[in-house]
Amino acid sequence: MCSIIGYKGQFIEAAPLLVESLKKMEYRGYDSVGIATMNNGKILISKGVGKVAEVDKILEFAKLPGQIGIGHTRWATHGGVSDKNAHPHFSCNSDIAVVHNGIIENYQELKEKLSKEGHIFKSQTDSEVIPHLLEKYCKEFNNDYKKSIIYTCKILKGSFAFVAIFKNGLICGARFDEPLIIGIANSALFLSSDVLGFLKHTDKAIFLDNGDIVTIDNNKYSIFDINNKKVIRPITQVAWELGSTEKGKYAHHTLKEIHEQPSILFNSINKNNDFQQFCKFIKNASNVYITGSGTSYHSGLLAKNLLAKFAKIKSEVIMSSEFQYMSDTLETNSAIIAISQSGETADVIHAVKKAKEHGSKILSIINISTSSLARISDSVLVLNCGPEIGVAATKSFIGQLMIIYNVVNLLSGNQLSLNKINQKKLVTDIEKTLELDEKIKTIVSMLDSEIKDIYILGRSLHYSIALEGSLKIKELAYIHAEGIAAGELKHGPLALIDAKSLVIVINPVDETYKDVISSTHEIKSRGAKIIGISNKNHELYDNYLQIPESIDHLYPIVEVIPLQIMAYYLSLKMQVDPDYPRNLAKSVTVK
C-alpha cells in the first residue's frame, strides 16, 4: 500500500539512492512521495503529491544533503492526497521524522491525548501519531531511544511497519503485520518494505518477523522484541527477485509482462520441487478451500473447476475478504489453498490466520517466496515469474494457472496431458496469440471513445477468464466491464444489452461452444457489437480474434491473452497509465 525505505551509509549520499529505491517500489502506492535526510544534526524533509519522477523533477530531492535518510511513497488511507499528508512526518521539535505503512487503528484516541498534552498535528494521517509518541517517550525516558521505540510500539494498535530517523543519526524500524526487511550491503544498511528497495546494492537480506524492532546505529543493526529481548534472524540470500525490473523495449511494464508470458510459462512447474508434498496435503484433507483476492481469486475459481472435473475433488472458493465470515464452520483437517502474487495481501493473510486457528493446513501459491504468506504456510509453490511491476496482474495469473494445472494433473493421474509435447505447443500457442497485438490495437482504435460498458461472456472454465478479462478492463481503462456466465444472460443481464453494448464472447470449440453461440444470437438480435475469441470464426462476430486450436481444457491459458492486450490498448485509448491505475496499489496490505 505504501513503501517505506531507510538508509544509513558511510560513503554515498542518501537522497538520490532513496529516490531510486522508491521508484522500484512505486507499485506499492504512488499518490505522493517524500524523503527526509539527516545532516549535521538536523533533519530535512521534502515531499509532495505525484509520482516519484514527477515530484523529484520539481523538488529535486538530490539537493537534500546527508548519508542517512528515509523515504516513502503513499497510497492514501487516512487523510486525502496532499503535500501535508505525504510522509515523512515530523515530531513537534523536528528531531524525529517517520515514514509508515499500514493502519494505526487507535490513532484518533492517541491524537486526542497527545493534542491535550500540547502536541501539534499538521496532517490528517493516522501515521503522524508515531513521531509524536516517539518524541513524548524520548522526553519521558531522557532520550533512551530504544525504550521510546518499544513504548511507542506497545501503545500502537493495528497493522503497521514504520521507519524513523532521529537527529542523532539513529534509524529504527518496527514490523507489526506489515513487511519490513533489512538489506545488508558492505558499507550501508537498508530498511525496506520490499527487497526491490535495495536489490541494486545487495542481495543479503533479513526478513523481520512480526513484532521485531530494529535499530541501526554506527552501521550496526540490532533486533529485539517488544520486551527488549534480543532476537536473532537469519541472513537470507535473495534469489529470483534479481530478475529485471526495467521496461526494456516496451512502453510499459504491463505490456512487457504480457509479452513475457511464453518465456515464464513453465518456470512455475520446472522450478518447484514441492508438488508432491502439496498434493499430499490436498489428498489427506477432509475438505479443500481455495482463497485469494482479485486476479488470484479468479485463478482459484478455475482451480475449483479443474479439481472437480479431472481430480474429482470437491472444493469451495471463497474470496479472502469474505473468508472471515464463514471461518467458524471450517472443519479440522481442512486444506486451504491460498493464492497470492505478492503473498502480502492483508485479506489473504487474515483468511489464512483464521483458518490456521481452526487447525487447517495452509498450501500457498505465491510469487514472492519470502513473503509473509510463504512464512505461515505448510507447503509453498512459487510462480518464479520474476518481479511483476505493472499494478495489474498479468504474467502472475498465467504463472498461477500453470501451477494449478500441474497440481490437478498430478492429482488426476496425468489427465491434463501436460507432457513435454503439449507444453511446447502451449508456449507456441501463446506466442501466436501475442501476434494478435496489432489487430487488437486496430479494433480498439475503432471502438467508440465514449464506450461505457463491456460485457465478457464465457461458460465453465471460460467464465473465470471472463471475470479476469473484465477486471483487467476495469482497472486498466476505467471502463465498466462485467464477466458473465453465458448461461445466466437470459436470467437478467440481457436487459442491459442494446446497440451501444460491446460484448466479447470467449468461445473456443469445446463442450460449451453451442450454448455460447445461442447466447451470441440473443445478443446479436439486440444489436450489440460482438468480438469473438475462438479457434473458429462465426458470422455472428463483428471482429474475430483467432486463438490456436488446443486441447479443450488448455484454452483458458491462451484465451486470457487477447483480453489482457485489449485492456492494455483500452487504457492507452483512455489516456490512462496502464502501469499505475488510479486509486490502486499492487500490494494491498490493508483490510
Interacting residue ranges for ligand F6R, rule: CB under 6 A = 293-296, 340-342, 345, 348, 392-393, 471, 475, 588
Q: How far is the CB of 356 from ligand F6R (least distance, A)?
A: 17
Strand, helix or coil for residue 495: helix
Q: Which residues contact 419 (CB under 8 A, 6 or more apart)?
A: none
Angle at 546 between CA 540 and CA 552, to 5 degrees: 95
Strands (E), 322-466: 334-340, 361-366, 379-382, 453-458
Q: Residue 319: exposed, middle, or buried by beta-carbon count in 10 A (0-12, 13-18, 19+)?
A: middle
- Closest by CA to 171, choosing from 138, 127, 215, is 215
Q: How far is the CB of 472 from ligand F6R (least distance, A)?
A: 6
Q: What is the rounded distance in angstroms from the CA atom of residue 146 to the CA atom of residue 441?
A: 58
Q: What is the rounded distance in angstroms from the CA atom of residue 424 to the CA atom of residue 484?
A: 32
Q: How far is the CB of 102 from ligand F6R (least distance, A)?
A: 16
b/e code 25-45 from CB counts within 10 Å (16+ = b): bbbbbbbbbbbbbbbeeebbb
Q: Is 361 part of the annotated catalytic residue set?
A: no
Beta-strand relationship, 96-104 and 89-90: antiparallel
State the sign of the Cα–Cα–Cα–Cα dihedral 303, 306, 310, 316.
positive
Number of Cβ atoms within 10 Å of the Cβ of 271: 13
Q: How far is the CB of 305 from ligand F6R (least distance, A)?
A: 19
Cis ω before 16 (30° cut-off from 0): no
Phi, psi of 459 (to 5 degrees): -115, 160
Q: Is 586 part of the annotated catalytic residue set?
A: yes
- Within a 13 Å sphere around the CA of 170, how many CA atoms are in the beta-carbon half? 17
Helix residue ranges, H only, 157-293 = 253-259, 261-264, 267-270, 275-284
For ligand F6R, the closer CB: 264 or 516:
264
Q: Specify the amino acid at residue 256.
A: K
Q: What is the rounded distance in angstroms from the CA atom of residue 454 to the CA atom of residue 525?
A: 17
Point out the catalytic residue in the list 2, 138, 172, 385. 2
- Position of minimal CB gap to ligand F6R: 294
Q: How far is the CB of 299 from ligand F6R (least distance, A)?
A: 9
For ligand F6R, the closer CB: 21 or 340:
340
Q: Specify the amino acid at residue 106.
A: N
Q: Give the DSSP letter of residue 537.
A: -
Phi, psi of 470 (to 5 degrees): -70, -35
324, three cell numbers: 472471515
Q: How far is the CB of 197 from ligand F6R (least distance, A)?
A: 18
For ligand F6R, the closer CB: 262 or 292:
292
Q: Give the DSSP letter of residue 587.
A: S
Q: How far is the CB of 287 from ligand F6R (least distance, A)?
A: 22
Q: How far is the CB of 345 from ligand F6R (least distance, A)?
A: 3
Integer CA distances (angstroms), 177 to 103, 159, 349, in order: 10, 5, 9
Point out the catalytic residue in the list 146, 385, 586, 591. 586
- Closest by CA to 77, choosing from 167, 2, 186, is 2
Q: How far is the CB of 389 from ligand F6R (least distance, A)?
A: 12
For ligand F6R, the closer CB: 14 or 385:
385
Q: What is the rounded distance in angstroms from the CA atom of residue 101 to the CA atom of residue 2?
A: 5
Active site residues: 2, 586
